[in-house]
Amino acid sequence: MTLRGRLTAAFLTVVLGPVLLGAFFVGSTMATLDRSRSTERLGLAAAGVRTSVDALCQQLRAAADAVALVTDPAARPRAATQVVGRGLAAAVTITDTAGRTSYATPGGPETPWRDCAGDPPAGGPVRALAARVQLRDPAGTDLGTVAAAQPVDPAFVARLAAVTGVAVTLLDDAAGPDRITHTTETRGVREAVLAAARTVGGDRVAETGDGRYVRRVGPVPGQPLPLVLSVPGERPPHLYAALVGAVALAALLAVAAAWRLARVTTRPLVELAGAVDRVAHGDLTARVPVRSRDEIGRLAGAFNRMTRETGSYVAALTTSRDQLRGHLAVLGDTLASTHDLQRILRVILHSAIAATGARAGAVLLLDGDGLLVGRCVEGLDGPDADPAALRVPVGAGVVGTVAATGEPLHGRWDPERAGAGEPSCETYVAVPFAAPGAAELGGRGPDRPGHPPADGEPAPPGSTALGVLALYDRVGAAEFDDDDLVTLRTFAGHAAVAVENVRVHEEAQRLSLTDPLTGLWNYRYLRESIRREVERANRFGRMLSVLALDLDRFKDVNDTWGHAAGDAVLVEFARRVRGEIREVDLAFRHGGEEFVVLLPETDARGATIVAERLGAVVRDQPVPVDGHAGEPVRVPVTVSIGIAVYPDHAAGGQQVLDAADDALYAAKAAGRDGYRLARPAEPTPTQEIPVVAAAVSPPDGLPRAGTPDAAGTGQGGASSGPHPPRQSRGR
């Protein structure tokens, strides 16, 4: 389908869709609203009918009771006449136990009468409503019945219609064929109402062909009259015809407007598409006639300016490319002195794209799994714009082949040769970069709790490749040439030097923060970590426990077995410490045989548990070392531990370390091989101490700073004072 056809179809869909939906919505809404209102009116009318008939039956029953209460048989006819005279009933009859009429007021309605309380009889029209009561003597003997009746005539039906506000129709009976006895409906709709009434029962409502709503009421006990209630609908006449006409008229106008709009819009777009085609094939002299001042006209003018500026830019780019190559040496020196790898790669890639006139490019580095992973991209669209989406196995595709063979490649893109994860293009150039010793840069140390993580990215065995620099789609030329390959080799060399420098810098920085003997963090990193952890604990209202550890009589080990044995004891002790703490905990070598452990989000009770476990794991397992004459010996070792908790025992990082040291000295003085808890810090006069009503664990299960903490004692140690127990760390 052409653009003109698509525009026409889209315009018609946009215009006619809402029109059709609106017409359907209006019609269905009005029909639903009309039916709902009519059903509600009929429901209220049915309730009014039942109320009116029930009120009439109550009146007739009261009239019959008035006659039945007269004990003198001779006075009963006079009472019946008075009841009729007062208008309480149209007729009163008195019958004996055999059913024979002993008295009846003159002028009563025709029989049979419908009993208000009994089941409606089958057959015959309804002439009157009657209420019957038992006639008894003072001794309770049954003497017969008294019945009071009221005629059901057109006037009665009209009164019901006036009370309910709807048309009322009285049928003959419920058993035989429905026939109308009395009705307030007009002649033209009687048959339609009667036909609709035959299809409904209970509380259901039916609709006639002319828009009236019909409901059948009775006969049932308490309302023995077979009635049909009807009400005219409130919908405007000829609603659906008017809606169909409006939709048809809107469709005609939409077709005419769509055809005109598509014709006016597509002509300049066709011209613009032709000019774009010429520019895509390298003709930067293509121009588009500007026929209007609307958006399309502005687009044509912008295209003309773009082609002129692009031609000028291509010419300037060709002239300045050689000059840019002369500055690459200076650029390389600058990049080699920078340690921000992502910034270095971005500068290198941007400079390479500018120097070669490429549309886009990417830098991929080799990871430890033998994959080339994108680290920096520029100019790529869609999913390829995310560097993490570029993941190419070594040896697969273009860049994988370049990394595996170490040979650069350039040419036109071949989809069959491309690997999964490589961006699609028309032309490409890819150059590997490597540095001596890259294969040896691998794991920097064991990844374990309390030890710095490895930062290096090992190269695969037998390979020294670091990555690949690739450029795509050279602007203004068919494909990349040998000059571009030479330029890109220079940038790849800079990238290799930069990557290697960053890795060496990171390794040196890691080594400056760790103890070379035990692999734990050193004292320099301890000062930074204690400050950071105290700030975090203060910010989140948590606790920070500090353990100061010192190996007991370590000088005797060195004096007896030599410094090599002492070093072995320190290494083994550090290993055991790492095995007893969490991943979030930090272990440091403070100096000599002194160590420090930071336990974030840990209260005094949790810290004492850790101290007990550390003391046990050191005490119960003597350390095997090489003794004199090469004979292995097992050296018993114990540790003394001082415990301090921030903020219970100190108000700052250095203070909590000092408090732990003081507790350590107390543990040493108490006989060693145990632990001591620091004394609580003395509050300043202006400090407000929060007081809690009870030791209640918070919802997250973590201890809060400022709440009561627990105190524990170790072997040979004493508590610093009684404190309510705090939730431990669950070790």
Q: Quick check: helix, strand or coil at residue 347?
A: helix
Spatial distance between the Cα atoms of 467 and 390, rounded to a whole number of angstroms: 13
**pLDDT for res 320:** 65
Q: Does the pLDDT at position 1 exceed 50?
A: yes
Spatial distance between the Cα atoms of 652 and 654, rounded to a whole number of angstroms: 6
Assigned domain for 572 exists? yes
Domain boundary among 479, 509, 539: 509
Q: Does the pLDDT at position 456 exceed 70?
A: no
Q: Both 528 and 596 in a single domain?
A: yes
**Count of C-beta atoms within a 10 Å radius of residue 692:** 11
Q: Which two tokens stand for residue 353?
A: 């794209």
β-strand partners of 632: 626
Q: Does the pLDDT at position 21 exceed 90?
A: no
More confident site: 309 or 39: 309
Q: Both 292 and 149 in a single domain?
A: no
Q: How far apart are the first and last CA of the chain?
A: 72
Q: Which of 422, 405, 406 is nearest to 414 (CA)?
A: 422
Q: Both 618 and 479 in a single domain?
A: no
Answer left, alpha or beta for residue 562, where phi above 0 means left and psi between -120 and 50 means alpha: left
Q: Both 171 and 226 in a single domain?
A: yes
Could you report the per-residue pLDDT of 268-324, keeping only the tens digit for each?
777 788 888 888 888 888 888 887 777 778 888 888 888 888 888 788 777 766 656
H/E stretch holding 486 reads helix 482-511
Residue pair 408/381 in contact (Cβ under 8 Å)? The answer is: no
Could you report the per-residue pLDDT of 191-205, keeping only the tens digit for each?
777 777 777 777 777
β-strand partners of 145: 95, 134
Q: Both 402 and 448 in a single domain?
A: yes
Give this prediction's pTM. 0.39
Q: Both 86 and 140 in a single domain?
A: yes
- The secondary structure of residue 209, as a DSSP letter, is T
Largest CA distance in the chain: 148
Q: Both 244 and 227 in a single domain?
A: no
Query: What average pLDDT does the segment 414-441 reach?
Result: 70
Q: Which two tokens stand for residue 123?
A: 């057959």
Q: Does the pLDDT at position 542 exceed 70?
A: yes
Q: Both 499 and 532 in a single domain?
A: no
**pLDDT for res 645:** 95
β-strand partners of 171: 180
Predicted confidence band at 328 (pLDDT cuts at 50, 70, 90)? low
The three state secondary structure string of 65-92 is: HHHHCCCCHHHHHHHHHHHHHCCCCCEE
Domain boundary among 269, 299, 319: 319
Q: Both 616 and 671 in a single domain?
A: yes
**Rounded to the nearest 5°, which phi and psi values hold at 474?**
-70, 130
Q: Both 564 and 583 in a single domain?
A: yes
Assigned domain for 689 exists? no
Assigned domain for 78 exists? yes
Q: Does the pLDDT at position 402 exceed 50?
A: yes
**pLDDT for res 704:** 41
Q: Quick check: helix, strand or coil at residue 441?
A: coil
* CATH number reported for the structural domain that contains residue 548 in this entry: 3.30.70.270
Could you report the per-residue pLDDT of 341-386, keeping only the tens digit for each?
777 778 878 878 877 778 888 888 888 777 888 888 888 877 777 7
Predicted confidence band at 51 (pLDDT cuts at 50, 70, 90)? confident
**pLDDT for res 579:** 92
Range of the domain at 644: 523-677
More confident site: 321 or 520: 520
- Please name the residue that has the structure tokens 């350390």: 623
Assigned domain for 337 exists? yes
Q: Does the pLDDT at position 624 exceed 80?
A: yes
Q: Which of 267, 460, 484 is nearest to 356 (CA)?
A: 484
Q: Which of 370, 393, 399 is nearest to 463 (CA)?
A: 370
Q: How much is the mean pLDDT over the chain?
A: 76
Q: Which of 545, 667, 534 is nearest to 596 (CA)?
A: 545
Assigned domain for 489 exists? yes
Q: Minimum mean pLDDT among 131-140, 338-347, 381-390, 698-707: which range?
A: 698-707
Q: Both 482 and 361 in a single domain?
A: yes
Total domains present in the chain: 4
* CATH number reported for the structural domain that contains residue 249 in this entry: 1.10.8.500
Q: Both 267 and 387 in a single domain?
A: no
Domain boundary among 656, 677, 698: 677
Q: Which of 526, 547, 531, 535 is nearest to 649 (CA)?
A: 547
Assigned domain for 19 exists? yes
